[in-house]
Amino acid sequence: MTAVEHDIVAQVYAAKEDSGAADQFIQQYLPFIRSETAKFVGTAPDHRYEDELSIAMLAFYEAILGYARTRGAFLPYAARAIKNRLIDYTRKEKRHQNVVSLHTPYGEEERTLEDTLPAQNGLMEEYDLRQASQQEIQEFGAQLAQFGLTFSQVADNSPKQARTLTACHRVLDYARQTPHLLDRFLETRRLPIKELSQGAGVDKKTIERHRAYLVAILLAFTNGYEIIRGHLCQMTAGKGGSA
């Protein structure tokens, strides 16, 4: 790795442990996140693509949490995570509209969803990755359904303000450090809002407002969904106002 890459990796590992560092790192790389979103939608992201940008930011954050040095340079890893998550979102939206096809064109170029799947060395490796991704997405969707949630609801429920995102980070950090709460969460299929509020120091109303987002992230980290961890990544830049 170059000196620059070493510095980025150091920032990533710091962001894993500290929600404040994570928020700062995400803000620092907003141009990168916007650029990757623009590549996917085929134009500069504006108000029409707020959902896509939100999901890309979520993907970037989940890439931080799922990254290890053995995965290579961080930014290419994060770029793949963003693309995969946006593909997932697009598929689910098309399915929701009863129009689901990998050959459905989108954007301004003559491309299809199938064209956006990550390039791999060898067709079999690419096929295996697609199959594993699709299976994991289906399983994760079924897990969400047990909590009364869909992918679209999770995307819509993403924190849209930086301060709200930071608060959600604190809740997630506390939950992952408190195994008995995670066990109860999985057993009862209910978010232990009172305990999370007290332990993380976050207002209960904030947790209630972003329940779908919090549930999705915790499910991904308690069920071993390695690919989903790379797909799930949400958050948008704060523009003031309440979340």
Evaluate whether 44 touches 38 at the Cβ level (below 8 Å): yes
Instruction: Split the chain (243 residues) into runs of 10 and give each run's mean pLDDT.
Output: 81 86 86 89 71 84 88 91 87 56 46 48 48 64 80 75 86 89 88 94 93 86 60 40 40
pTM above the 0.85 mark? no
C-alpha–C-alpha distance, residues 77 and 83, integer Å = 10
Q: How far, in Å, CA of 64 to CA of 222, rounded?
A: 17
Instruction: Tell me which residue of 92, 229, 227 sits closest to 172, measured CA to CA.
Output: 229
pLDDT score recorded for residue 228: 56
Q: Looking at residue 183, what is its pLDDT?
A: 87
Across the chain, how many H-helices and E-strands are there? 13, 2
Helix, strand, coil percentages, rounded to 5, for the chain: 70, 0, 25
pLDDT at 62: 87
Q: What pLDDT does residue 75 have? A: 93
pLDDT of residue 201: 94
Q: What pLDDT, on the 0 to 100 scale, is given for residue 10?
A: 92
Q: Nearest 5 degrees, angle CA 75-CA 67-CA 148?
A: 105
